[in-house]
Structure 1
Amino acid sequence: MDGTSPAQTGCYQNRELSWLLFNERVLDEAGNTDVPLAERLTFASIYQSNLDEFFMVRVGTLMVQMLSGETIRDNKTNMTARDQVSAILDTVKSLEKKKTAIYTQLMDELAEHGVSLINFNTLSDDEGKILEAYFDKNIAPFLSPMIIGKQQPFPFLQNGELYAVVLLSNRNGKNRMGIVQCSNQIFKRLIEIPSRPGTFMLCEELILHCVTKLFSNYAVREKSVIRITRNADIEPTEVYDEDLDYRNFMEHLIKQRKRMSPVRLELSRQINESAKKELSGILGIDGSHIINAGTPLDLSFVFQIRDFIRSKKELFYRKRIPKKSPSIDVRKSIIPQIMKKDVLLSYPFESIKPFLNLLHEAAEDSSVVSIKMTLYRVADKSKIIDSLIEAAENGKEVVVLVELRARFDEENNIEMSRRLEEAGCRIIYGLGDYKVHSKLCLITCHTENGLSYITQIGTGNYNEKTSLLYTDLSLITADSRIGTDAAAVFKSLLLGETVDETDCLLVAPNCLQNRILQMIDEQIALAKTLETRKSAYIGIKINSLTDKVIIDKIVEASCAGVRIELCVRGICCLVPGIRGLTDNIKIVSIVGRFLEHSRIYIFGNPSAQDGSAGVNKECRIFIGSADFMTRNTERRVEVAVPVFDDDIKKRLVHIFSTVMSDNVKGRELTSEKNYVRRTVCDEEKRCSSQEQFYEEAYKAVSRREVQP
């Protein structure tokens, strides 16, 4: 088993099953009565959309492995693709029951606030007639029902769309199947009952009730709304034709994705086994992939309900607005401030505006020679794109690497690349076998004092929208060591290569994983010496941990006595608390109002050895774009930056220690592979890290405003 002893297998969790545990924590927030009701509706929808993408990508990948005939095993748990798919389906069906119970609870609570979803069983005769008339006038004319037969083959079902499937019998007793799409751009999903304000019926439920009108020559035996999920995992590097223009190739690939094989079939109602078998045969999907849902198959309508109850402020989170960073004055020129001192921005608690102002200023500053940037996902109507275009139009060299393979953002990135290219920017479309996932911006200045750099390295995308929703960190520095390394990274990218060596930046795929391992080894060495044992410490905050090479080195560090704290939001393939192996490891996950997205790496005990309030000078701290996943460390261009400024190091240590202490939204992973809530006996000791960071941001602004 790839060198893994049987005793060590208890240290590992399967990647896919770990992800399902993460999504269950999202679902738990939908059922958490401490969360405002409208926000719980959102968590329910996020749970579903997360699961959709999981089936499209991860289950899709496993299905391809199964069909290949090659036995591929998970390198941590030895599970085959078939083993994993089977375990996934069992878990998802179990979670469906939990989702149904939580959804029922949410609907009951909504009813207490005057909002209800109903079906025909609860309507009066007059209300039923009104809705049927509405159907006849506003819906039926726009539907295209069809009977499946030799002359009418089963239609192609779009990924994620809703369809009504009807089992029919004609006058001769012959059984047929009818199908009709339940959504388009014309009619509304939520239909309000005229006589009951705040009472709605889902469009697909109205269609299903009135389906006899669409198949009037048949008797309806059974009916259900169905929804299929298709495999969307296409790896461009595996099918790329070098004779094609890369951007045109990606557009072709997007169209191809829409017609890939189904990996899941959901039913809103039970239908007989014979009909299920017929459906699965037509769709080419195994019957085990059919899931009976106890909720509407598409929960996106909850956002319309949120709009309907918007006036009830108590049903929503308290309004929070990103505050000005106390480290920089946006009323003054940004570039001179950065030249004097490094700045760390912490989203969403602090505003992204200083960085936006920096780009705008760079676009107009006569000393700025060039702007180079890597873009993975950007917002619609992006101010960042506007500044890059302005810089190019002002005659500056603008080099932008646009990663066209950012999954599900390909179309947006293709359009963005065209805009930039038309403005005169130099565009690079990805990098051969490696996705470019780094968040790196380099501004080169030429002044009377010579060449200088301003470098920005972040943990999150250059996206104004997600800076309001994700916790991310952004370091802006004029440090020449960092700027020189960043320039080397861009030079390699322009040559279609990956950088082989850097002075201080950690840059995947060639000099991140090996440097991480080296720094872990340094902590292991400290732990083996009595005088330095207390200094041996590793603190990591990431989104996912799957890289077996790093995991095994962390286990080795634990065995050596290194104290290890990990904050892993999502997938975590390492199990803590296994005696003699991982008992020096503590792992927490935070699922809260904002998506935890920042990455922090700490090597060495941050506590100063002299007992002062500063950070130990031997402690090394980084922020970056890379999770500890094999895809990040070996198959992507990622960048992490060392933090040299003492004040920023101290701040990052505070951020990390706060998230590790979170006992409101934090859940701790046990040796039994379960996430448990922490017990809080004293109300005053409750710590919700995200709320605390916002309070600190508000107080920092208040202190600045009262200063003379």
Structure 2
Amino acid sequence: MAEKKQKYLENRELSWLKFNERVLEEAADPFVPLCERMSFLSIFQSNLDEFFMVRVGSLHDQMHVDKTAHDNKTKMTAKEQLAAIFDAARILSEQKDLVYRNYMQLLKAEGVELLSFADMQPDDKVFLEHYFKEALMPLLSPQVIGKKQPFPFLKNKEIYAVVVLGTKNGEKLGIIPCSNEVFERLIKVPSGKERYMLVEELILHFLPLVFERYTVKSKSLIRIIRNADIDVDEAFYDEDLDYRDSMEKLIRTRRRLCPVKLEHSRVLDVTIIENLRKELGIGADQVYFSEAPLELSFFSQIQDSLREKRELFFEKRVPQQPACIRNDLPVIDQIEEKDWFLSFPYESMKPFIRLLKEAGEDERVVSIRMTLYRVAKNSQIVEALIDAAENGKEVVVLVELRARFDEENNIEWSRRLEDAGCRIIYGIDHIKVHSKLCQITYKKDGEIRHITQIGTGNYNEKTAKLYTDLSVMTANEKIGEESAEVFHALCLEQLVEKTKYLLVAPKCLQSKIIVMIDEEIAKAKAGKPAYVGAKMNALTDKVIIDKLVEASKAGVKIELIIRGICCLIPGVEGYTENIRVISIVGRYLEHSRIYLFGAEEETAKVYIASADFMTRNTTKRVEVAAPVWDKAIKERIMDMFHLMLKDNVKARELGSDGNYSRVTDSDVKLNSQEYFFAMSYQQAENTEK
């Protein structure tokens, strides 16, 4: 018999949906400028799409493979989880429609209207009919489903018009793709400066012209989401292809996986829904009606049309140059004197890029080694590595081609790096390399020295302006030598088996975390102050969760800042009453990972890491957490952590009932993200003076 669910545990999928609900709250928040709210709604939708593609897709596969398998926290089977997900997602979709409806009213007040054909003035209707006949109709590919024209393959996330066609012998179904690179999504109409109609709505309206020999009985727009969860190593590794070619094959395969969700924008006859379900192989609970458009990327065009109205956007913020950095001294020499610390997006990534560029030209530098997981489309970092290789430096780059949905970008960059003379490696079978590690090796006074950079986020200039992340650069040889061992193991397709200073998953991270929590438990039992703090994206690792519960029972004070999934419910009497959990969802995506152990500031252990406390991170990936030994940097990270705990503008606290509520504990409002940016500006101004 399955073990009973513990009252302090939450299902990871349902916890994730609660996170996306917090994103939706930002989309509805009247204190967030209108155009920024629209961005949050787009993020909400893209989040939900990816959730269905990956998590629902995985559960869908699991349900067919092993009907008795269940999650290790709530003991829910895949079937039970899917039922709960579909119910929760339907509620969220209805809330999304309300938010969208409110936007339309607010945009109208700003002079922007998104109209249906019925709302158009006579001249507009004439214009649109002409536009349809001349610009759209020649490019459409209509199909009537029948014996000689079977049901077509519907592409993932693309919009189609479906129509029930009356014939002398009954009814048929017609389908037209509405997505085309040639089509403009928003069609501007003549009667107003910012009056638009969506191209799919225009196609839907003029379906009678396309199917002129039939009677149009009903019509709708549909969009499907397909399963994108593929086991790269096991299912799609082809011995006849090199690894990069195998990944390209995977991308092609993913596009054709089974549907997991059907959305439609009009009320359709039950019979038509049944026919679509039959063709797509999905259940009734996987069909969703949407009042809002099925895809929201057109918001960006509306935002662009309103750029002059600054009150509709966040105040512009520019990442600043840290006060400690000098322009008149080589970066390596500066880091030898004192560790560097960068906090994104408040501080710029340019100093790190400068380090790479200087290293590529420095005669002392022998090699540059780096792990790349997600990089920008136009990456200055990769260009710096290419320049270094062309200057004769040994450049070794581990490119993780399995970074989900970034595979194509990474494949292209891997080719360019290889062409420039860089040595490219792709990691280890069955283990993703997710660490954020860069090492520059150079000679000084006849000795080999290292500059090592450890980060919490990707080497991506674009996301460094949107995500909160931390980066430390150090000349400490204890860190340098162990980091060199990490790279050495990766080059040999091996795992680091033991470490003294770094925490390196999958062999030497989870176990060391447990040891440090045990140390705090021992302090609490001895009547001494004991503390564990952590900031990360998600908490799902059952081993660590169980240890945190044990620590709470022993009296250890535990404070967690978990942006997304949190499978541990705090405040449950007898189990987690010494644990507090908050989530910060604001202008910037909280992405940094911080581990704190110890109540005394002087002796507390502080780490920054690439790893969340998720089983996939702690036991199935190469991750690196590094201790912070520089006193000033250590104090700054601890101050940042404790200030975030005081956020009462963008923070929500997780209650013992498993629900989140906004923190409203003070009359003095503190938005931690705004505070950190204000501090970066102030420090930059003081430096200039």
Query: Which TM-score bucket, shorter chain as reference?
Result: over 0.9
Deviation at 1:333, TM superposition (A): 1.2
For 1:306 and 1:508, the matched residues in 2 are separated by: 43
Alignment of 1:208-223 (within 5 A): 208-223=204-219
Q: Which residue of 2 aligns with 1:647?
A: 632
For 2:439 and 2:124, the matched residues in 1 are separated by: 64
For 2:599 and 2:340, the matched residues in 1 are separated by: 23
Deviation at 1:11, TM superposition (A): 0.7
Alignment of 1:289-368 (within 5 A): 289-368=286-365
The answer on 1:691 being equivalent to 2:674 is: yes
Structure 1: runs of 5 or more not aligned? 607-614
| 2:570–2:576 Cα contact (<8 Å) kept | yes
Code of the residue aligned with 2:150 in structure 1: it is P
| 2:534–2:593 Cα contact (<8 Å) kept | yes
Given the alignment, which residue of 133, 137, 157 partners 2:134?
A: 137
The answer on 1:225 being equivalent to 2:248 is: no
Number of residues of Structure 1 aligned to a counterpart in Structure 2:
688
| 1:93–1:291 Cα contact (<8 Å) kept | yes
For residues 407-465 of structure 1, the C-alpha deviation after alignment (integer angstroms, 9 at most, x for no partner) is 00101111111111111111101211100000000111112251111000000000001
| 1:680–1:686 Cα contact (<8 Å) kept | no
For residues 31-65 of structure 1, the C-alpha deviation after alignment (integer angstroms, 9 at most, x for no partner) is 00000000000000000000000000000000001
Q: Secondary structure at the match of 2:298?
A: helix
With the length of structure 1 as denominator, give the TM-score of the two structures.
0.96
Instruction: Identify which range, 381-390 or 637-646, moves more after superposition.
Output: 381-390
Alignment of 1:16-27 (within 5 A): 16-27=13-24
Alignment of 1:26-65 (within 5 A): 26-65=23-62
Q: Which residue of 2 aligns with 1:594?
A: 588
Alignment of 1:388-403 (within 5 A): 388-403=385-400
Deviation at 1:125, TM superposition (A): 3.0
Deviation at 1:552, TM superposition (A): 0.4
Q: Which residue of 1 aligns with 2:276?
A: 279
Deviation at 1:106, TM superposition (A): 1.2
For 1:224 and 1:119, the matched residues in 2 are separated by: 14
Q: Secondary structure at the match of 1:485?
A: helix
Deviation at 1:330, TM superposition (A): 3.6
Given the alignment, which residue of 589, 613, 626 partners 1:628?
A: 613
Deviation at 1:294, TM superposition (A): 1.5
For 1:675 and 1:507, the matched residues in 2 are separated by: 33
Q: Which residue of 1 aligns with 2:11?
A: 14
For residues 634-662 of structure 1, the C-alpha deviation after alignment (integer angstroms, 9 at most, x for no partner) is 00000000000110110001110111111
Deviation at 1:127, TM superposition (A): 2.1
Deviation at 1:97, TM superposition (A): 1.2
For 2:666 and 2:671, the matched residues in 1 are separated by: 15
Code of the residue aligned with 2:204 in structure 1: it is L
For residues 134-177 of structure 1, the C-alpha deviation after alignment (integer angstroms, 9 at most, x for no partner) is 1111111110111000111111110000000000102x142000
For 1:377 and 1:331, the matched residues in 2 are separated by: 32
Alignment of 1:571-582 (within 5 A): 571-582=565-576
Q: Which residue of 1 aligns with 2:483?
A: 486
Q: Which residue of 2 aligns with 1:702?
A: 685
The answer on 1:103 being equivalent to 2:100 is: yes
For 2:115 and 2:37, the matched residues in 1 are separated by: 20
Code of the residue aligned with 1:117 in structure 2: it is L
Q: Secondary structure at the match of 1:539?
A: strand
Q: Which residue of 2 aligns with 1:248?
A: 245
Given the alignment, which residue of 532, 536, 540 partners 1:542?
A: 536
Alignment of 1:170-181 (within 5 A): 170=167, 172-181=168-177
For 1:133 and 1:201, the matched residues in 2 are separated by: 14
For 2:79 and 2:234, the matched residues in 1 are separated by: 23
Structure 2: runs of 5 or more not aligned? none
| 1:405–1:430 Cα contact (<8 Å) kept | no
Deviation at 1:123, TM superposition (A): 1.6
For 2:55 and 2:576, the matched residues in 1 are separated by: 28
| 1:543–1:570 Cα contact (<8 Å) kept | yes
Deviation at 1:278, TM superposition (A): 0.3
Code of the residue aligned with 2:605 in structure 1: it is R
| 1:330–1:357 Cα contact (<8 Å) kept | no
Counting aligned pairs with the same residue, the percent is 55
Code of the residue aligned with 1:579 in structure 2: it is E
Given the alignment, which residue of 190, 195, 211 partners 1:194?
A: 190
For 2:386 and 2:182, the matched residues in 1 are separated by: 37
Alpha carbons of structure 1 residues 406 and 474: separation in structure 2 relative to 1, 3 Å: same
Code of the residue aligned with 1:495 in structure 2: it is L
Deviation at 1:130, TM superposition (A): 1.8
| 2:648–2:666 Cα contact (<8 Å) kept | no
With the length of structure 2 as denominator, give the TM-score of the two structures.
0.99
| 1:120–1:209 Cα contact (<8 Å) kept | yes
Deviation at 1:187, TM superposition (A): 1.6
How large is the Cα RMSD of the aligned pairs? 1.1
The answer on 1:672 being equivalent to 2:669 is: no
Deviation at 1:681, TM superposition (A): 4.9
Given the alignment, which residue of 365, 381, 384 partners 1:384?
A: 381
For 1:420 and 1:545, the matched residues in 2 are separated by: 35
Q: Which residue of 1 aligns with 2:233?
A: 237
Q: Secondary structure at the match of 1:588?
A: strand
Q: Which residue of 2 aligns with 1:182?
A: 178
The answer on 1:370 being equivalent to 2:353 is: no
Q: Secondary structure at the match of 2:410?
A: helix
Code of the residue aligned with 1:409 in structure 2: it is D
Code of the residue aligned with 2:581 in structure 1: it is I
Q: Which residue of 2 aligns with 1:80?
A: 77
| 2:67–2:77 Cα contact (<8 Å) kept | no
Q: Secondary structure at the match of 1:163?
A: strand
Deviation at 1:22, TM superposition (A): 0.3
| 1:345–1:475 Cα contact (<8 Å) kept | yes
Deviation at 1:328, TM superposition (A): 1.5
Given the alignment, which residue of 198, 205, 208 partners 2:201?
A: 205
Instruction: Identify which range, 438-447 or 234-243, moves more after superposition.
Output: 234-243
| 2:646–2:670 Cα contact (<8 Å) kept | yes
For 2:346 and 2:66, the matched residues in 1 are separated by: 50
The answer on 1:263 being equivalent to 2:260 is: yes
Q: Which residue of 2 aligns with 1:611?
A: none
Moved over 3 A (4+): none
Q: Secondary structure at the match of 1:698?
A: helix
Instruction: Identify which range, 65-74 or 644-653, moves more after superposition.
Output: 65-74
Deviation at 1:332, TM superposition (A): 2.7
